[in-house]
Amino acid sequence: MNKVRFGIIGIGNMGTSHARDLVKDIQGAELAAVCDHNPERLKWAKEHLPDTVQLFGDTESLFASQAMDAVLIATPHYDHPTLAVEAFESGYHVLIEKPAGVYTKAVREMNEAAAKSGKQFGIMYNQRTSPLYAKLRDLVLSGELGTIRRTNWIITNWYRSQSYYNSGGWRATWAGEGGGVLLNQDPHQLDLWQWTIGMMPTRVRAFCHFGKYRNIEVEDDVTAYVEYENGATGLFVTTTGEAPGTNRFELTGDNGKIVVEDGKLTFWRLRVPEPEFNAEYTGGFGQPECWKCEIPVSGGLGTQHKGILQNFTNALLHGESLLAPGEEGIHGLTLSNAMYLSSWTEDWVDLPLNEDLFYEKLQEKIKTSVLRNENGAGNVLDVKGTYSGS
């Protein structure tokens, strides 16, 4: 293989962006095909993409065509695992948009299909390309911060108005989207939360508020508390109903504190690790000497979506390691699933997650899910997403 031929399923907002990137900016890649159930999106593709790009109105024809080497899935959330499994079984490499899916039971089946296929599998966790979070991960995993004691992420700068939710009837519904702020806005943060520290919690207690600030059926405000195997604790606070919002990630360890905020990484570094100071200090009041270190980070926001596309292409052509393996998409989704389940059961949720119980509770929500019109009124949904672009 000297060039990777991509086929995109779903030419909505993200699919359109990926199509343009593949046409113009990704070395060693070629956009070979697009697929969408919406005739209007295929019309757009015909008018704006190269004549060499094949157009398909259904995935069955796309998969049978052998027109590509890899499939990029940019559809509504529920379809990600289903389409990925079909693509693997048809012999294609797969790159999916975030989130990996809506419930981990389906994502686990997708991961198993990927392993069985022997094909490359990636997920569009483009914020892993950010030099800021890459540096944070390096500081933590190298031991510079010492043993993690506490994590705290306040991510409330996701403001969304009611008109945003009314713009698409499937938005913020259990049947159409599968969740609210946790599943739509926060997948990147939930991934980075566990990726940068290299561990998952052992149990979760969450308080999700459904339709607190907006006329929607899913959550728009969440406060979650987690505990880790080593005794560390964590807090995750998020909403789409606050203005102005905050994005502050704080980690405390034996060697000090790291804060990520406003595009800066600040390390409040202890000259002597806290456990050592505590064992030796006899002066009563007092604390370890602390240095405020502004950690240099260059590269701005990183290569983002183009970076993931280029990395995936390079993996196929040159054996480059994937920055965001698709199998790792289950970790962030496990966190959001656990938060929902904790709220629904009003109890702690232990990890590994009880996937059958979560699926059962989700189906109960889907049965009464409502499709809104532009005025906020609606009717009960009878579908769970389509193959059209999200």
pLDDT digits (tens, 9 = 90+) for 125-178: 999 999 999 999 999 999 999 999 999 999 999 999 999 999 877 889 999 999
Res 372: pLDDT: 59
Q: How many CB atoms lie within 10 A of CB 217?
A: 20
Per-residue pLDDT at 304 exceeds 50:
yes
What letter represents residue 48's amino acid?
H
The mean per-residue pLDDT over the stretch 258-287 comes to 97
pLDDT in tens, 187-235: 999 999 999 999 999 999 999 999 999 999 999 999 999 999 999 999 9
Environment class of 230 (CB within 10 Å of its CB; exposed 0-12, middle 13-18, buried 19+): exposed
Res 380: pLDDT: 38
Res 370: pLDDT: 87
The mean per-residue pLDDT over the stretch 278-286 comes to 96
SS3 227: strand
Res 273: pLDDT: 98
Residue 142 CA to residue 171 CA, distance in Å, equals 41
The mean per-residue pLDDT over the stretch 278-304 comes to 96
Per-residue pLDDT at 180 exceeds 60:
yes
Environment class of 221 (CB within 10 Å of its CB; exposed 0-12, middle 13-18, buried 19+): buried
Spell 237-271 as b/e; 16+ CB within 10 A means b.
bbbbbbeeeebebbbbbbbbbbbbeeeebbbebbe
Res 385: pLDDT: 36
Label residue 371 by pLDDT band (50, 70, 90).
Answer: confident
Res 387: pLDDT: 39
Cα distances (angstroms) measured from residue 367 to each of 243, 302, 303, 313:
33, 41, 41, 40
Res 373: pLDDT: 55
Average pLDDT, rounded, for the chain: 95
Res 362: pLDDT: 98
Specify the higher pLDDT residue, 76 or 378.
76
Res 333: pLDDT: 98
Q: What is the DSSP letter of 322?
A: P
Per-residue pLDDT at 375 exceeds 70:
no
Run of H or E residues at 373: none
